[in-house]
């Protein structure tokens, strides 16, 4: 089934640890995104990539980094996790010409 | 300043009771307005894209409409399975983030039998 796969589904992480959230799509979409979703704040853009080899910062990029080595993969790394990064993280993709995003099922991350 | 504001935050309807959700936006050059549905514990699911004032899109019991300042998601004779959070989103004014979207905080809809 075409779509986006995120891993892990959930994770409890000690503060100060490094963590990479994985995201893979099989639709050959050019653009990919990472959002975090928090109660009362909605979905906020962390980083985006319009095409393989390029990335950009969104609304809340501090403490996060991304890479886009190929079309299919867009990992999100927390270099040194802090409790405020406790959230649900969604990866999404879209065709360059617009249209709706396809979202993954999310990663629920708890930093303790 | 929020570019997308949704109202109400929560809405409870009885099965068959039609209503509308509102999404107002403040971007100057609209490059599309998107509606999504999100079920608990899942990622948002794309519903509609609207591009110009007067445009309408329909899917089952849902109809989305667009004016120059806002969009409405009309729900006709809803069923319990329509219960979900409905999200509205627009691309920001600045073009630097490409195709990224700014999302509203959503309307949580509960339809009771």
Q: What would the mean pLDDT of A36-63 be, rounded to a whole number?
A: 94
pLDDT of B96 higher than 60: no
Select from B41, B44, B106 the Cβ nearest to the Cβ of A103.
Answer: B44
Separation of CA B12 from chain center = 16
What pLDDT is recorded for position B94? 58
Establish if B92 touches chain A: CB-CB under 8 angstroms. Answer: no
Angle CA B1–B4–B9, to nearest 5? 110
pLDDT band at B53, cuts 50/70/90? very high
Q: Where are the beta strands (DSSP E) in A8-98?
A: 10-13, 19-25, 31-38, 42-49, 56-57, 64-66, 76-78, 87-94
What pLDDT is recorded for position A98? 54
Contact A29, A80 (CB under 8 A): no
Q: State the smallest CA–CA distance between residue A57 and chain B in angstroms.
A: 8
What pLDDT is recorded for position A105? 96
Cα–Cα distance for residue pair A91/A104, rounded to 1 Å: 5
Dmax (CA) of chain A: 41
Q: What would the mean pLDDT of B100-113 be, rounded to a whole number?
A: 94
Which residue reads 């627009």 in tokens?
B90
Select from B31, B41, B49 the Cβ nearest to the Cβ of A100.
Answer: B49
Select from A43, A50, A56 the Cβ nearest to the Cβ of B103.
Answer: A43
What pLDDT is recorded for position A11? 97
pLDDT band at A95, cuts 50/70/90? confident
**pLDDT tens-digit profile of A20-46?**
999 999 999 999 999 999 998 999 999
**Long-range contacts, B24-32 (Cβ 8 Å, 24+):** B24/B69, B24/B70, B25/B69, B25/B70, B25/B71, B25/B88, B25/B90, B26/B1, B26/B2, B27/B3, B27/B90, B27/B91, B27/B92, B27/B93, B28/B93, B29/B93, B30/B90, B31/A98, B31/B90, B31/B91, B32/A98, B32/B90, B32/B91
pLDDT band at A100, cuts 50/70/90? confident
Establish if B96 touches chain A: CB-CB under 8 angstroms. Answer: yes
Establish if B106 touches chain A: CB-CB under 8 angstroms. Answer: yes
- For chain A, the residues whose C-beta falls within 8 A of a C-beta of chain B are 4, 31, 33, 35, 40-45, 48, 50, 56, 58, 90, 92, 94, 96, 98-106
pLDDT band at B97, cuts 50/70/90? low
pLDDT of B88 higher than 80: yes
What pLDDT is recorded for position B1? 59
Cα–Cα distance for residue pair A98/A105, rounded to 1 Å: 21
**pLDDT tens-digit profile of B8-51?**
999 999 999 999 999 999 877 778 899 999 999 999 999 999 99
What pLDDT is recorded for position B28? 76
More confidently predicted of A1 and B68? B68
Establish if B86 touches chain A: CB-CB under 8 angstroms. Answer: no
pLDDT of B93 higher than 90: no
Q: Would you call B99 and A96 a contact, using CB atoms and an 8 Å cutoff?
A: yes
Closest-CA residue to B99 (of A26, A75, A101, A25): A101
Select from B32, B99, B102 the Cβ nearest to the Cβ of A31.
Answer: B99
Q: What would the mean pLDDT of A44-65 be, rounded to a whole number?
A: 94
């Amino acid at each position: 089934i075409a779509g986006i796969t995120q891993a892990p589904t959930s994770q409890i992480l000690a503060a100060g640890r490094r963590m990479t959230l994985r995201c893979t799509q099989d639709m050959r979409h050019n653009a990919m995104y990472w959002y975090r979703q928090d109660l009362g704040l909605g979905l906020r853009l962390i980083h985006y990539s319009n095409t393989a080899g390029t990335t950009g910062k969104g609304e809340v990029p501090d403490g996060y980094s991304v890479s886009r080595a190929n079309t299919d993969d867009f990992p999100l790394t927390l270099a040194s996790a802090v409790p405020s990064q406790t959230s649900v993280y969604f990866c999404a993709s879209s065709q360059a010409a617009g249209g709706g995003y396809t979202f993954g099922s999310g990663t629920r991350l708890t930093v303790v | 300043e929020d570019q997308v504001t949704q109202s109400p935050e929560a809405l409870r309807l009885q099965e068959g009771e039609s209503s509308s959700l509102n999404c107002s936006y403040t971007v100057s050059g609209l490059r599309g307005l998107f509606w999504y549905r999100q079920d608990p514990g899942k990622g948002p699911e794309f519903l509609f894209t609207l591009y110009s004032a007067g445009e309408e899109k329909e899917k089952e019991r849902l109809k989305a409409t667009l004016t120059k300042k806002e969009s409405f998601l009309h729900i006709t004779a809803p069923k319990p399975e329509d219960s979900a959070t409905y999200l509205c989103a627009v691309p920001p004014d600045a073009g630097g983030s490409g195709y990224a979207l700014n999302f509203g905080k959503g309307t949580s809809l509960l339809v009771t039998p």
